[in-house]
Amino acid sequence: MFLGTEQQRLTGLRQIAHLKETYFSNSKNKLETIFDQATDKWKTTLCFHAGLKRRHTLLAYSELKPEEQLKIAQALLSLRHFSARYTGEFC
């Protein structure tokens, strides 16, 4: 039995749909797409920056352990921050 108003029920259903889409979607996340579509050279750079081994460049993102996926995410954000900071200074 729901004790709220109809507006509250609809808001709750929208929030549940958003959470399902965000956390339980069958589609790949953006980081997985970036990693899986990266060239070998870019994957090597990313894995090196993340502190991973060369063998990780041969794996798909879904084959990495959760802690390795976290390292890839942190490395990508770090490289993004670095490139944003120095955009236009090397031209």
- The pLDDT tens digits of the residues spanning 34-88 come to 999 999 999 999 999 999 999 999 999 999 999 999 999 999 999 988 888 877 6
- Residue 37 included in any domain: yes
- Residue 1 included in any domain: no
Q: Which domain holds residue 80?
A: 28-87
76 token code pair: 């990508």
User: What's the structural domain count of the chain?
Assistant: 1
pLDDT at 28: 65
| CA 66 – CA 25 distance, rounded (Å) | 17
- Residue 81 included in any domain: yes
- Residue 66 included in any domain: yes
- Residue 6 included in any domain: no
pLDDT at 26: 63
- Residue 13 included in any domain: no
Sign of the C-alpha dihedral, residues 34, 40, 41, 45? positive
- Residue 51 neighbours by CB under 8 Å, 6+ apart: 71, 75
13 to 9, 20, 43, 52: CA distances (angstroms): 6, 11, 40, 41
- Residue 73 included in any domain: yes
